[in-house]
């Protein structure tokens, strides 16, 4: 069982960001609302029973929380769930990650810190609309190292205008000089509705084309592999033994609960998302203390509807959709897709996969299909081809 907690506040919105967060300090009322939501979901034993293996506090900007606020959140999770996480990650941003915050989260049991570096070049950071400098990123990693976090991960963005394979490798080299054990590397994408998307649409910004993106990705893949990093997922690279267990849970289609405004959850059958509206989220959970789950044997979507929970959507997945998600998520990883996990959908997937196996695009062995790392940028396209009969 896995828990994600969303902190939807940032000092300022980055111009490429499509995650839900509001440009504001942390609203004091958010904490009691979150605590009440944590209490509420702990009643759903049928879905979320068992030990919590991973806890991930993400955002937004969790490092905007005060020591007291994050302590109250984690204490509530410990009070209401069986929490003995093998992995407890906190996302931090360079400008707000302080020694005091590092001490606070370590004392709560955090053993992994994920730092939103994005680039060690100030011109890239300015383009992205980040509010920190490269120097602040270096300081943030130094803080994490000084306080001996067992796992330090950094986020890096590539495919920024002006980026070259050489500049990307320079970024990665600097990260590795700090002995980080995990790198998440994402291509800059113009998500609809963001200022970046608007600029791309109106021609004010030209992003690198597919070939240039692929060239940068392959250069990074080669470099990181030569440095001992395993490309265990399309965007994630880690030294052996330092894979992110929480994210693996998503890709392995395991149950997780997302708490906080706009957080997503998956019960094994239903998938739902909390409202991306922090004010409504707070109002509901502050006004509905003591909300009880009527029974434990139920369809979550019906209960959510009956209780008027502050959610954007709840979808009960068909068997076909579950199989399709397993293919789409599994193909992102080095473990690929176990056909036996797809039940009656294994056969149509295998049928569609045959031509790709024959052409050397997909690998097949031991009733498992997977993509070599250098083909993983094609994951979405290939996955759609495999599941089109039953999506
Ligand atoms: S700090 Fe992260 S969550 Fe906040 S606006 Fe920037 S990219 Fe989005």
Same domain for 116 and 202, yes or no, is yes
Residue closest by Cα to atom 8 of ligand 1:
17
Tell which of 226, 250, 274 closes a domain: 250
pTM for the full predicted model: 0.96
Specify the CATH number for the domain of residue 365: 1.10.10.920
**Residue of 116, 155, 193, 278 with the most ligand 1 atoms within 8 Å of its CB, for mutation:** 116
**How far apart are alpha carbons 368 and 327 in whole angstroms?**
11
Within a domain: 294: no
Within 8 A by CB and 6+ apart from 3, the residues are 52, 54, 55, 56, 77, 81, 83, 256, 257, 259
Same domain for 239 and 91, yes or no, is yes
**Residue of 11, 19, 115, 126 with the most ligand 1 atoms within 8 Å of its CB, for mutation:** 19
CA distances from 89 to 137, 174, 290, 320, 331 (A): 18, 22, 29, 33, 24
**Residue of 59, 126, 154 with the most ligand 1 atoms within 8 Å of its CB, for mutation:** 59
Residue closest by Cα to atom 7 of ligand 1:
17
The strand pair at 182-187 and 151-158 is best described as: parallel
- Residue 96 sits at φ, ψ, to 5 deg, of -115, 5
Tokens of 68: 């007291």
Residue closest by Cα to atom 2 of ligand 1:
60
Within a domain: 152: yes
Residue 106 pLDDT: 98
Residue 63 pLDDT: 98
Tell me: pLDDT of 52 over 90.
Answer: no
Closest CA to 128 of 186, 187, 188, 175: 188
Tell which of 219, 250, 281 closes a domain: 250
**Residue of 6, 10, 20, 262 with the most ligand 1 atoms within 8 Å of its CB, for mutation:** 10
Tell me: pLDDT of 294 over 80.
Answer: no
Within a domain: 382: yes
The CA 15 to ligand 1 mean position distance, Å, reads: 9
Same domain for 233 and 333, yes or no, is no
Same domain for 133 and 219, yes or no, is yes
pLDDT in tens, 154-183: 999 999 999 999 999 999 999 999 999 999
Tell me: pLDDT of 47 over 70.
Answer: no
Domain that holds residue 45: 2-250
pLDDT above 90 as % of the chain: 88
Q: Output the ligand 1 site: residues, CB below 6 A.
A: 10, 13-14, 17, 19, 21, 59-61, 93, 116
Same domain for 206 and 108, yes or no, is yes
The CA 51 to ligand 1 mean position distance, Å, reads: 30
Exposure string for 164-178, b = 16+ CB within 10 A, e = fewer: ebebbbebbebbbeb
Tell me: pLDDT of 290 over 90.
Answer: no
**How far apart are alpha carbons 255 and 212 in whole angstroms?**
37
Specify the CATH number for the domain of residue 30: 3.80.30.20
Within a domain: 124: yes
Same domain for 338 and 222, yes or no, is no
Residue closest by Cα to atom 6 of ligand 1:
14
Same domain for 220 and 347, yes or no, is no
**How far apart are alpha carbons 278 and 260 in whole angstroms?**
8
Within a domain: 12: yes
Same domain for 226 and 343, yes or no, is no
Residue closest by Cα to atom 3 of ligand 1:
60
Within a domain: 265: no
Residue 127 pLDDT: 98
Same domain for 19 and 125, yes or no, is yes
Tell me: pLDDT of 300 over 90.
Answer: no
**How far apart are alpha carbons 298 and 51 in whole angstroms?**
22
Residue 49 pLDDT: 67
Mean pLDDT on 349-363: 94
Residue 188 pLDDT: 98
The CA 58 to ligand 1 mean position distance, Å, reads: 10
Number of domains making up the chain: 2
Same domain for 214 and 347, yes or no, is no
Tell me: pLDDT of 46 over 90.
Answer: no
Residue 297 pLDDT: 58
H, E, C per residue of the chain = CEEEEEECEECCCCCCCCCCCEECCCCCCHHHHHHHHHHHHCCCHHHHCCCEEEEEEEECCHHHCCHHHHHHHHHHHHHHCCEEEEEEEEEECCCCCCHHHHHHHHHHCCCEEEEEEECCCHHHHHHHCCCCCHHHHHHHHHHHHHCCCCEEEEEEEECCCCCCHHHHHHHHHHHHHCCCCEEEEEECCCCCCCHHHHHHHCCCCCCCCHHHHHHHHHHHHHHHHHCCCEEEECCEEECCCCCCHHHHHHHCCCCEEEECCCCEEECCCEEEEECCCHHHHHHHHHHCCCCCCCCCCCCHHHHHHHHCCCEEEEEECCHHHHHHHHHHHHCCECCCEEHHHHHHHHHHHHHHHHHHHHCCCEEEECCEEEECHHHHHHHHHHHHHHHCCCC
Tell which of 189, 221, 250 closes a domain: 250
Tell me: pLDDT of 298 over 80.
Answer: no
Same domain for 226 and 331, yes or no, is no
Within a domain: 173: yes
Neighbours of 50 (CB within 10 A): 10
- Residue 186 sits at φ, ψ, to 5 deg, of -120, 140
Within a domain: 183: yes
Mean pLDDT on 284-306: 84
pLDDT in tens, 192-241: 999 999 999 999 999 999 999 999 999 999 999 999 999 999 999 999 99
Same domain for 77 and 169, yes or no, is yes
Locate the ligand 1 atom nearest the alpha carbon of residue 129 and give its number.
6
**How far apart are alpha carbons 156 and 122 in whole angstroms?**
13
pLDDT in tens, 84-125: 778 999 999 999 999 999 999 999 999 999 999 999 999 999
Residue 296 pLDDT: 58
């Amino acid at each position: 069982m896995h828990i994600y907690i969303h902190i939807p506040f940032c000092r300022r919105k980055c111009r490429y960001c499509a995650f839900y967060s509001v440009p504001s300090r942390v609203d004091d009322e958010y904490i009691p609302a979150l605590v009440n939501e944590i209490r509420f979901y702990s009643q759903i034993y049928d879905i979320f029973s068992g030990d919590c293996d991973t806890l991930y506090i993400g955002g937004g900007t969790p490092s905007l929380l005060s020591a007291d606020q994050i302590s109250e959140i984690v204490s509530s999770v410990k009070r209401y769930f069986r929490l003995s996480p093998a992995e407890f990650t906190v996302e931090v941003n360079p400008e707000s990650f302080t020694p005091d915050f590092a001490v606070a989260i370590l004392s709560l049991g955090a053993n992994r810190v994920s730092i939103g570096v994005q680039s060690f070049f100030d011109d890239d950071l300015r383009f992205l609309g980040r509010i920190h400098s490269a120097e602040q990123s270096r300081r943030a990693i130094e803080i994490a190292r000084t306080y001996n976090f067992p796992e330090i991960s950094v986020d890096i963005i590539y495919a920024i205008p002006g980026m070259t394979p050489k500049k990307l490798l320079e970024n990665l080299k600097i990260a590795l000089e700090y002995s980080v054990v995990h790198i998440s590397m994402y291509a800059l994408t113009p998500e609809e509705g963001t200022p970046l998307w608007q600029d791309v649409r109106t021609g004010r910004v030209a992003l690198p084309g597919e070939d240039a993106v692929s060239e940068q990705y392959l250069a990074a893949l080669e470099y990181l592999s030569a440095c001992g990093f395993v490309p265990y997922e399309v965007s994630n690279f880690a030294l052996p033994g330092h894979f992110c267990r929480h994210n693996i849970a998503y890709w392995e289609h395991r149950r997780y609960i997302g708490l906080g405004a706009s957080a997503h959850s998956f019960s094994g059958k239903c998938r739902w998302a909390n409202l991306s509206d922090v004010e409504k989220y707070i109002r509901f959970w502050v006004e509905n203390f003591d909300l009880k789950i009527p029974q434990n044997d139920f369809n979550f979507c019906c209960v959510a509807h009956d209780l008027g929970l502050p959610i954007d959507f709840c979808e009960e997945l068909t068997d076909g959709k579950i199989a399709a998600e397993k293919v789409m998520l599994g193909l992102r990883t080095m473990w690929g897709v176990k056909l036996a996990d797809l039940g009656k959908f294994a056969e149509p997937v295998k049928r569609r996969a045959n031509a790709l196996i024959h052409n050397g695009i997909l690998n097949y062995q031991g009733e498992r299909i997977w993509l070599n790392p250098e083909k993983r940028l094609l994951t979405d396209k290939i996955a759609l081809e495999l599941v089109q009969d039953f999506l």
